[in-house]
Amino acid sequence: MRGLGVIAVMVAGCYSPRPAPGAPCNPDGDCPAPFTCVNEICVDESDGDDVIDAAMADSGDELLDAEMPDAAPDGTGLPLAPYLPPAFQEGGTVAWVVATDVTVDTTMLSSSSSEIEVVATPQLDSDGPELAVIQVGSLQIMPGAEIRVTGTRPLVIVAAGDISVAGVINASARLGASGPGGNAMLGAGAGLAGITDGPDDSGGGGGGNGTMGAAGGTSGPAPGGLGGVALATMVLRGGGAGGTHTMRNGCPAPTFGGGGGGALVLVARGAVSLTGRIEVNGGGGPAAPPCPVSSLSGAGGGAGGTLVVMAAGLTFSTGAILTANGGGGSAGAMSAAAGVPGEDGRDDTTVALGGMGGGSIGGRGGAGGANTTAPGDGQDVTNGGGGGGAVGWIIVRTPVGIQPIVPASPPAVYDHY
């Protein structure tokens, strides 16, 4: 990927997740084992010289401190959930059983289920978008059932008891449509649009969140759009959108890059058990529309969103998975016909493919980020391909001493209270 993708990490403090490479060194120039302080950044020397060289290339100003908000005890022995005001911490009384597909719209604050109420509240951090909140006594999603979440606000579900997911909670983007709370074009973490220089059209950059998005493909003198920056987790928000394809006179106006994956928080005052899946993946870069006078470049894929699971206990069964994968970039068009879209982020550990290009004209799109694989750049040809979207964040918060092996792509960041 063109340019270094700086990984945003949670820093130590009263809210301290397991250290990760890329975190700043402490004031004494030390890092937790097994990391070594190089140029004020913690790196794992076992990862090789490339990682250390990358750290040497970065300045402290470029590192995003992704610190979760502190949470004070609520008087019951359980800490407050991050992002939520105190009035929404305890959950409700309804035993919500989802046996058939349900939709939740965080813009309209509505649901196809008559059992629950969706309400809005500001985040604790005033810089964050307003939240949609569902409070229940317990939540049980049966096998084969899905909660599909859309809208502009992040969603928080708070249960006074247990949460069991044998089906699916889907807060992912679909092509240019962002997930709930996913960032729109030009929003936080968005990739930059491709540009036009004479006959050349470069690809849009992929969206950023857990890491930086990938660059769009260069076309002649027109550089590819840069990938979106990595985002902090101090406020709850989804992934960055991909940059759009280029604009030309006589061609349809650019629409959107891939949508950013949604932002979703599950809080159980009891336990969470997962035999199904929860996904906040980024959308694939949409295809450039057909143009009668020219052909256009590809759009960037959207970044995976942000998923936080907080519970007194966690259990995961074989086949269960949490995903915040990036979408693939779309291909540049080979002629006046439309381009080829990138894949939406996948619900496993494999990368979403970019749209297939056509050789010397119409570059292929870059693959989205997944698991520990970085997103790929768009191809450098006439009508460059869009860059792949980055992975998002998966954060698991449990009591000290409880750290289950969570099947997740990207790997989960653990935090204990």
Asked if 348 and 292 count as a contact pair (C-beta separation under 8 A), the reply is no
Average pLDDT over residues 183-194: 85
Asked if 166 and 247 count as a contact pair (C-beta separation under 8 A), the reply is no
Write down the domain spans for the chain.
1-68, 75-417
* Mode of pairing for the β-strands spanning 168-170 and 200-201: unpaired
Average pLDDT over residues 75-94: 81
Q: Is the pLDDT of residue 402 over 90?
A: no
Res. 39 pLDDT band, cuts 50 70 90? very low
What is the rounded CA–CA span in Å between residue 213 and residue 225? 10
The torsion region of residue 319 among left (phi > 0), alpha (psi -120 to 50) and beta comes to left
**Coil, strand or helix: which one is 97?**
strand
Q: Is the pLDDT of residue 11 over 60?
A: no
Q: Is the pLDDT of residue 322 over 50?
A: yes
Gyration radius (Cα) of the chain, Å: 21
Q: Is the pLDDT of residue 36 over 50?
A: yes
DSSP 192-233: PPP-EETTEEPPPPPP-SSSPPPPPPPBTTBPPPPPPPP--S
Which amino acid, 320?
Answer: A
Q: Is the pLDDT of residue 44 over 70?
A: no
Give the per-residue pLDDT at 69: 55
Average pLDDT value over all residues in the chain? 83
The model carries a pTM of 0.82
User: What are the structure tokens assigned to 386, written together?
Assistant: 């869009």
Average pLDDT over residues 137-163: 97
Average pLDDT over residues 36-52: 45
